[in-house]
Amino acid sequence: MHASLPYDEEVFLWTPADGFGFYEIGEIVENEQPAHAVSFDPQTLRVSTHRVSDYIENPTKRIYRVELESGREVLVTRDHNLFTLDEHGGVTRIASEDAEGELVMTPGELPEAETETPTIDLLDRLDNDELTVYASDGLGSVDWESVPQGSERHYQDQSSAPATAVTPTAAPDDLDVAFKQSTLRLPRQLPVSEEFGWCLGFYIAEGYARRKQVVVNNQTEAYVERFADFFDSWDASLSWDEQDSGVTAVTVCSALWSALVRDLCGSGNEKTIPDAAWDWPTPVLEALYEGLIDGDGSRRESRDTLYTANAELANRAAYLGTRLGYNTSMYSREREMYIEPSDCHNEMTEWCVDFSTNAHKRGQYVPTPSELLREYRNEAGLTMAEAADAMGYNSKSSISNVENREYESVKRETLEQFREVYADAGVDTSRLDDLLDGDIVFDKVAAVEKTDRVEPTYDLEVQPRGRVIENFLGGRGGVFLSNTAGFVDPGYRGQITLELSNLGAAPVALSPGMRVSQLVFTELKSESTRPYGSERGSKYQDQDGPKSSKIQDDPEFES
């Protein structure tokens, strides 16, 4: 199966250069950029990061849109595999063209950064042409020859230098940074505090920025005051405006703060969660989330909801909710807004992102592991009637309906009842523990629709050190996607090793003559520009007979 994505479909990866974030899969594949994919382990259903082991460009194919009931969405080829459960509780694949109405795997949690980033390096984030740096204990290496003649004495008298004349890697971290002709200074390594996170979230939801201003306004004065207090603590100049409508606005009058906020979050209708945020400490992300909801959201007893006209913000907010352990879903609706000063009506698409910590319709159901539960009952030595009685059911039909898979899905709370009874009877319920306590939730595929896009497609292989991982995370809101099948590269000579893996919890019997694989041939329209062979350092050329993995010969594993 050619399990593939179009060039511009985003996947959620970790890279050594930029940490966690969203990357176009085509760019990652073309550059063979070192990366770790956010993946689940089929054995434990825990989500973590695993090294991308190969980069694959596939033939041109029709692109389909897979939509889930929660609003998650991904663009793939129609034979692309998603993940679900079999009756034994094992992980199994299902092609997207057959997935409508099926429950498929999505992340219930995202991993924290292994190395958190508690500060922002202003020299790394901002345009150095507009900055001056200050240091009482020395500036490190300064190229004074690049400073305009006559200005060197001025800078040296203030223990300063133009940022363009300073080598960032040689400069001390305890520098102060300022815009030229400005008195406001900030530390080069600006702490990423919880209050800063809240202010960014509030700005994204309720603010705008110009070259020398950051402005927020809200009817809740306490929120505006909280925003102002943070910038006041850094000696920024503030301007207040209490409007007749009951809205209070505050303006942070600072080119430096404006440049940083715009660099992190954007401006106008494109404001979104910073790329850098995915590596910030969890308390900072929690504060950013609170700022989003305080700015343009609502709180109910059962859930919070964020409202936005920015589809990209809705997508990243859904990932943020998952990162913080919320059950997230999103939907859009068409709205008409009346703009009073111009006396006109404006139609817009509004996105709503729901966040919940309580079980409700989203994420509450699991594909029924009927055979697994039957095996557990037999191991416990219980009849259906005895099991039903122990679980508080009136009839054994409550057990038989599950074991005979009368229902395609079952509530998590029902599985918890089964687990409790069978564990008390001495059964090893570890696979049920994986399902209930792992990092995976299930979401129903609402639609699989053909698009008008026909183009080359791309894929990632995630089999670090030969481990059975074979999945990565991508799409709007987050959907787990399968690796492609193996490819024989142009230029290869030798026998092909058949690779088989069983992701399920139960053994699968293979009998003589059983069909277990297929070969698909794609004709090249031109000669390969990078054929398989010795010039590429290819490891399997001219192999004879079955061969084990030679991944240990890759450069990153050399001692």
Query: Would you name the residues annotated as active-site residues?
Result: 499
Burial of 425 (0-12, 13-18, 19+ CB in 10 A): middle
Residue 78, classed as helix, strand or coil, is: coil
One-letter amino acid of 321: G
- The helix or strand, by DSSP H or E, that contains position 432, with its residue range, turns out to be helix 430-437
Query: Is the separation of the CB atoms in 43 and 448 below 8 Å?
Result: no
Under 8 Å CB-to-CB from 97, ≥6 apart: which residues?
A: 64, 78, 79, 448
**Sequence-ordered alpha helix ranges (H) in 459-518:** none
What angle, rounded to 10 degrees, do the helices at 430-437 and 412-424 form? 150
Dihedral of the alpha carbons of 172, 173, 175, 180, in degrees to the nearest 10: 100
**Residue 218 pairs with which residues in a beta bridge?**
248
Within the chain, how many helices (H) and strands (E) appear? 13, 29
HSE (side-chain half, CA atoms, 13 Å) at 396: 8
Question: In this structure, how many other beta carbons lie within 10 angstroms of the beta carbon of residue 372?
Answer: 24
The rounded distance, in Å, linking the Cα atoms of 221 and 396 is 59
